[in-house]
A and B are shown apart, each in its own frame.
Chain A
Amino acid sequence: MRTISARQTGIIIFLTILANKILLLPSIMYQQTKADSIFGILVIFFVELLILSIFLYVKLKFPNENLQEILQKKIGHFCAKFIIFIFLIFFLFKTMLTYSVVYVYLKDLVYQDEFGFLAIVCFLPVVNHGVICGLRSISRTFELFFYLVIAGILFCFGIAFFTEISMPVFFTANPLTIFNTSFKYLFSFGDYLVLFVFIEKINLKKNDVKKFLRFVILGILIVSSIFVIFYAKYQITAFMHNNALADLLVFSVQFNAIGRLDIVAMLTIMTLGLFQLEIFQYAFCESFSMVFTKLNNKFAIAVFDILFFVIYFILIGKYELMINFTTSYLCYFSLLSNFLLPFIIFAVSFSKNKRIKNKGVRDEKSN
């Protein structure tokens, strides 16, 4: 089996941590909780670290088994498939949300006219190709782009400091509002779920955990920094700017003569968006293969493309509706997928451990 290293796993997690959080989220959260949105995302990040520790526990305990095998032994064939099916739905909508957010950005700043069909025609073949090539190819390709993406993000940060910024005003929203808002946008999180889906393909030893965690911390720091700098730059008008990372790059009047350097943000966002879509579609296809064991990966890709096209274009129709759908309904689903399922997986792996232990004790007694 082709596995990925701890560093490549870290890079994938870096991608998923940044997914859906660096463009639209700071702006729409600001409408409800102003600059206190930062506390909301920090709390979710903190809670999600528990999910990450569950993953590490499961991975270190079952280094070579896939999710289906781990679950199937304890809770049976049907329940295991049901849990993985929930993952499948999660990744289907996660891909749609990621696509919507990137599409909004491209439509606002590059194409201006509706170009949904053209965008999908351009995006899907590239994403499908990535998925066919496999996880290792995706992660290794992004390794090449990783430092370019980091440089792009830092460039945006750097330019933001040349413009008028001041410390955001904190503690204006009450904790309940912060909690409600964070809950509403919960679907944008669930960053570590991808790891469960291809757990067997990750080559992670106990010594590698630190290396892996560095990328997690980097991702969290970058997202938090984008929130802080974006609010520091725009303050009260943050709600008017839908593309946080790109809007950091907008110059002040003093730079009026330079022209537009937002091509840097554009390339960074497009690179990130493409790889994020590849990761989420790959996770979908892996889940699909585990649920429908008789169907191969290419069939999974075809099903994904059809579902994507039908749900996104025919049923949902507009990216605004997609984003509203995630905040109105999928936030409840996120409770199940982001938190409950990892805890079930943890309970299953933990109880199995106990069972083995008891079995061991019985063996000792019989001896």
Chain B
Amino acid sequence: MKKAIEWVKKYPFILVLIVILVFFTPFAIFSPGESRKRAIVLAVGIDKIEDKYEISFLTFIPTQNQEFTQSNSVISGIGSSVSEAVLDAQLTLGKDIGLSHAKTTVVNEKMLEEDVSASIDYLSRIASLPENTVFICTNTTAKELLIATSSLEENVGLKLDQLISYNANEVYFVDTSLEAFYKGYYGPEKSSIIGYIEHIKDEQSSQGDSSSSENGVAEQGGEQTGQEMQGGSASSDEEKQRGSLKGQSQILNRGEAVVLREGKQVAKLNVDNLNSLNLLNNKKSMDSIKIENVDIENNNNVDMIFLVKNKKIAIKSVFENNIPIFVINITLGIQLTEINAKGQKIEKEVQFTDINEEIETKVQSKLKTQFAQTLKILRDSKADVIGVYDKFYRENRAKFIKFLNSLDNKDDYLNNVVFMLNLKIQPDG
């Protein structure tokens, strides 16, 4: 015993270790699992119902099973502020909310009529919410979209964040994360862009949703039957037809985006608009260009589809006679992917390696028209999501500040900047 005491005296930190083990080991063994105390949130939805906020969480519930399936539920809470709504949701769930894995934040489109930053302020103060959380809006309530995605995941195995990531990588020309929203919101441009996912619901599910919304109860995603995912650019008739199917609601990902200025929606961009803006995006190169009525083998009614395989972009800002000019020089390497001769046979020039003058002119004309249309939308909404302000401020700061000061309305600078789009088309490879 005496030896043992002397040994402990010699190494006192063994004693500390033993004390720590004695105190903490029982806690570690007998305390309940973290999943019992904390719900893992995968997506957050915020809706505003009159003066109250409803927050919905798409939560992952860890359950023991022998299949590789994930059980998700949508839990909602209502309160006069978002934080009160969160507390209400926690009360409903009986767990704390863990937002570390939340990849998507959804708001109702109607909320964008006012400055949306007030509604998502709560989220911006949560450090554990990842900065790469994608910020999107939907035409129905955010809760309904989350319920639909929950079911989608169970039935089809497709996750909302995968869908959004695809859009972020392949469709949008800018980052559409919550972080990017704030960058645009706090930046001098005051403009940002967020994704738009359309949700078409049938009356039956709509009624079910609204009743549950009032009660703020948890809903199991799997209980919603027959919901399915519809992608691509379906025509409106097709959509109506799909929408009218009894017991079905659909998520339509048409790659649309909403332009915000000072947190309010000022415009909506379709895929064509986004594709034209993608001309300025080095990372995005898989655009397709369709030109019509090309003259091949004396048949002038041929449609040709090209794929943009590579892109070289050089953007510079210059001033000429105190007029700011935004010069965009783009070299596109395109590859023919499809010919539609509308019933006629094309026999000789099947493999095109050269881009002739007619094709080049038509491609240029098409892209410039599309760009001009998109630019008009941005100019009308005074939303600089292209980064014009940033470019001029970095490269010609003094002249640009002088130019801004000369304007009656400094926010209207986009209408006073001249855009020059120079396109060079060449075959890929």
Contacts and interface: CB of A to CB of B under 8 A. Distances in A.
Nearest to A239: B186
A253 B127 contact: no
B381 interface: no
A247 interface: yes
A251 B13 CA distance: 41
A114 interface: no
A61 B134 CA distance: 61
A237 interface: yes
B193 to A, nearest CB: 13
A235 B182 CA distance: 11
Interface stretch (B173-181, B198-206, B325-333): B173-181
Given A108-B127, A250-B131, A257-B161, A169 B175 contact: no
B131 A247 contact: yes
A236 B187 contact: yes
A-B pairs, top 7 by smallest CB distance, nearest first, are A108-B127, A253-B168, A250-B131, A256-B165, A236-B187, A236-B186, A237-B182
B182 A256 contact: no
Contacts of B16: 125, 129
A26 to B, nearest CB: 15
Contact of A109 (B101, B127, B162): B127
B410 interface: no
B132 A237 contact: no
Interface in B124-145: 124, 127-128, 130-132, 134
B100 A169 contact: no
Contacts of B175: 164, 252-253
Given A169-B394, A235-B183, A236-B183, A254 B127 contact: no
What bracket does the count of chain A residues touching chain B fall in?
20 to 34
Interface of B: 13, 16, 100-101, 103, 124, 127-128, 130-132, 134, 161-162, 164-165, 168-169, 175-177, 179-180, 182-183, 186-187, 390, 393-394
Nearest to B187: A236
12 contacts: A108-B128, A169-B393, A237-B179, A237-B186, A252-B175, A253-B169, A253-B175, A253-B177, A254-B169, A256-B161, A260-B101, A260-B130
B177 A129 contact: no
Contacts of B13: 129
Interface in A26-44: none
Interface string A246-290: 010011111111011000000000000000000000000000000
Contacts of A260: 100-101, 130
Contacts of A236: 182-183, 186-187
B128 A256 contact: no
A243 interface: yes
A251 B132 contact: yes
A173 interface: no
Given A169-B393, A236-B187, A257-B161, A252 B128 contact: no
Contact of A255 (B132, B162, B393, B394): B132
Contacts of B182: 236-237, 240
B132 A253 contact: yes
Nearest to B13: A129
B177 A252 contact: yes
Contacts of B393: 169
Contact of B127 (A125, A164, A242, A251): A242
Contacts of B183: 234-237
Contact of B168 (A112, A235, A254, A259): A254
A137 B102 CA distance: 43
Nearest to B169: A254
Contacts of A109: 127-128
Given A236-B186, A236-B187, A253 B130 contact: no
Interface string A166-192: 010100000000000000000000000
B62 to A, nearest CB: 16
B101 to A, nearest CB: 7
A53 B390 CA distance: 42
A253 B186 contact: no
A242 B127 CA distance: 8
A257 B162 contact: yes
Nearest to B167: A253
A167 B131 CA distance: 20
Nearest to B283: A254
Contact of A112 (B128, B162, B394): B128
B187 A253 contact: no
Contacts of A241: 131
B136 to A, nearest CB: 11
B164 to A, nearest CB: 8
B132 A252 contact: yes
A250 B130 contact: yes
Nearest to B189: A236
B134 A253 contact: yes
A97 B176 CA distance: 36
A112 B390 CA distance: 36
B178 to A, nearest CB: 10
A348 B367 CA distance: 76
A247 B177 CA distance: 15
Residue among A112, A129, A169, A247 facing the most chain B CB atoms (10 A cut-off): A112
B165 A243 contact: no
